[in-house]
A and B are shown apart, each in its own frame.
Chain A
Amino acid sequence: MAGIDIVPMYFNDRDEMLRRLGSSLEREFRTMVRYRNPWFDPELSFDSSRGQYRASHILKALLNDPHEELAERILGVAGVDLFTPVLTYVFGEAQLGGRAAVVSSHRLRNEVYGLPANETLLFERLRKEAVHELGHTYGLLHCPSPRCVMRASSYAEEIELKEERFCEGCRSIVTAGGVAPARR
């Protein structure tokens, strides 16, 4: 079926934020959103030596979906810190031109940087990064346009510089259904 499955992990007590995120994605991708509990144990992705969760493991688990009616795309929303082997952290990870993406709210929180909590800011950052990671599943690369949501952001503050929308070029690719991933 068409649509996006949202799978929360360690995202307790934030149902309201999750609903708002879903509505936002429905508008941006003009599709339906379904909320599902994880069908795997996210704890298996935990790396004790780093104290973080391995993003690629979560993606693999998301793709191993037992549902009879698979959604077109699947987005894990994690409240824990994600990493890839070579990087200290990632805000999210996605299959380029694929089906699955995962986004973490952990480093989007002001408290991580010793600042007072700000739920509004957290939601704005989270929805931008969720749209960004889902954009990669449409085959979109990082965009040089400073306002486009596909602009790469390495720091939380950088996320605020971009908008929650695609630029015209990226939007046209999403509307067309995406691009195939390049061979390598």
Chain B
Amino acid sequence: MALRAREAAAPQDLGGVLIVDDEFSMRDSLVHWFEKDGYRTGSAQDGREALRRLEEEPWDAVLLDIKMPGMDGLELQRRIREVDPELPIIMITAFASVDSAVQALKEGAFDYVTKPVDPDQLSRVVRLAVERHRLRQENSQLRRKVDQLSTPTTIIGASGTMSKVLELVKSVAETDATVLIRGESGTGKELIAQTIHANSRRRYFPIVPVNCGAVPESLLESELFGHERGAFTGAQYRRKGKLEMADGGTLFLDEVGTIGPAMQVNLLRVLETKEFARLGGTKPVRVDFRVICATNQDLEQQVKDGTFREDLYFRLNVVAISLPPLRERREDIPPLAHHLLGKYAQEMNRPFTGFEPAAMDLLVRHDWPGNVRELANAVERALVVGRAPTVRVEDLPVRLKEMHDSPVGDSLADVEQAQIRLILERTGGNVTRAAEVLQIDRVTLYNKIKKYNLRP
């Protein structure tokens, strides 16, 4: 007979069924039965062999004879559940051992069948067990994927102030409290918001960011509340707003201090009632979201000035998290810089491994008015312009060096030497260009380079 490989006609993978029975005829007939249904089948004659087969390959259901010499079905079920609590186990019993089957169900068995069993019942029970196992596996895979996607970039912070912030983030994440994150530009306010969301019970729903400062006041209302068709000129379709999109999840209002007075009233109402109507609509829409907002402005002063509503301020300022500027936690700069170096080196496929001590010293001494964002830009730039494997001083932005390249002494010679070095760096070592900038002739510059032992 001409035989072809089964793979040629392999049907879809229906799953794997492991049959454990000490009686050969039982094992054999079950294997044949499930094989014809298209399952991957395997058999074991006792508990030890079953545990070995479970280690060897993945299964979607186990059919287990409750009465076996040595390790009986109940004991084996307990052992299997220790290794894989999700694996559905179907007990096969004789009429006489129904009590044991009930015990097995109490201990977590998926179901039991009494032999001899109706073919239809057997197929149905196994099909349900395999389906449930596969759905659970798929579910946990998807959850892992969501966790990976929703977990933001690592927060690096060994300093005392940052450790306190992270502790607060962790404890507030589990609650549903409104959080106000404060900090200078570039301190990582959005990252903290994402971390709170990723560690909250709302993590399987979206975090919807709204940059209130970037959206014109006239559009913010429609952006947040959405609109019905025909609500205004150009509203051709009904559109969901960010509040609806955040249903179940977190609404992140960035630059909340820029919201105008009219919008502040609307926002306050929604935060209190969790209900609103789309623009041009009357039907109330109920939403359930958590609010995290951020600002780099002095909200208290704005309240005093009357530009920010006091009631909204109190509504938002339930838990306040203040992010310290980078210059106040300089000990975090080396680990942060190394983390950023590793991240960008991988992203850009550049074989950088570290910083020259002088370059790191410069990074630590710099005040970083743009905070972590500025540091990240500096490291990214260094990886683009520099030569692997280490970042050198000359790879860092000129501005950084200018601010720290102060003359070593107060003498005229020290000042002259520092100025020549700076201009040579700026002109990329072009002596003619440097001489022009310094307004001296080229020969004089060469002499001074030689005198101060500078390398163009």
Contacts and interface: CB of A to CB of B under 8 A. Distances in A.
B1 interface: yes
A86 B4 contact: no
A173 B5 CA distance: 11
Contact of B6 (A56, A139, A152): A139
Contact of A180 (B4, B30, B40, B119): B4
Interface in A1-44: none
Nearest to A173: B9
The A interface, classified by DSSP as helix, strand, loop or mixed, is: loop
B116 A88 contact: yes
B117 A88 contact: yes
Q: Considering residues A85, A136, A144, A178, which has the most beta carbons from chain B within 10 angstroms of its beta carbon?
A: A85
B3 A179 contact: yes
B123 to A, nearest CB: 7
A176 B2 contact: yes
A87 B37 CA distance: 15
Interface residues of A, number: 33
B6 A83 contact: no
A86 B116 contact: yes
A86 B36 contact: no
A154 B123 contact: yes
Interface in A138-155: 139-142, 144, 152, 154-155
Interface in A155-184: 155, 169, 173, 176-182, 184
Given A178-B3, A179-B3, A179-B8, A87 B35 contact: no
A84 B4 contact: no
Contacts of A154: 118-120, 123
A76 interface: no
Contact of A56 (B1, B25, B43, B122): B25
Interface stretch (A61-69, A89-97, A114-122, A123-131): A89-97
Nearest to A85: B25
A72 interface: yes
B35 A182 contact: yes
Nearest to A72: B1
A39 B114 CA distance: 36
B170 interface: no
A177 B1 contact: yes
Given A141-B11, A142-B38, A85 B6 contact: no
B178 interface: no
Contacts, number: 97
B381 interface: no
Interface residues of B, number: 35
A139 B9 contact: yes
Contacts of A72: 1
Contact of A86 (B33, B38, B40): B33
Contacts of A83: 116
Interface string B34-72: 011110111100000000000000000000000000000
Interface of B: 1-6, 8-9, 11, 23, 25-26, 28-33, 35-38, 40-43, 92, 115-120, 122-123
Given A85-B116, A86-B122, A152-B36, 13 more contacts: A83-B116, A85-B25, A86-B92, A86-B117, A87-B116, A154-B118, A154-B119, A155-B120, A173-B4, A173-B9, A178-B1, A179-B9, A184-B41
Interface of A: 50, 56, 72, 83-90, 93, 96-97, 136, 139-142, 144, 152, 154-155, 169, 173, 176-182, 184
9 nearest A-B pairs in the assembled complex, by CB-CB distance? A177-B2, A154-B120, A84-B29, A180-B3, A141-B38, A85-B25, A88-B116, A154-B119, A179-B6
10 contacts: A56-B28, A85-B29, A86-B26, A86-B116, A87-B33, A89-B119, A139-B3, A139-B9, A152-B123, A179-B5
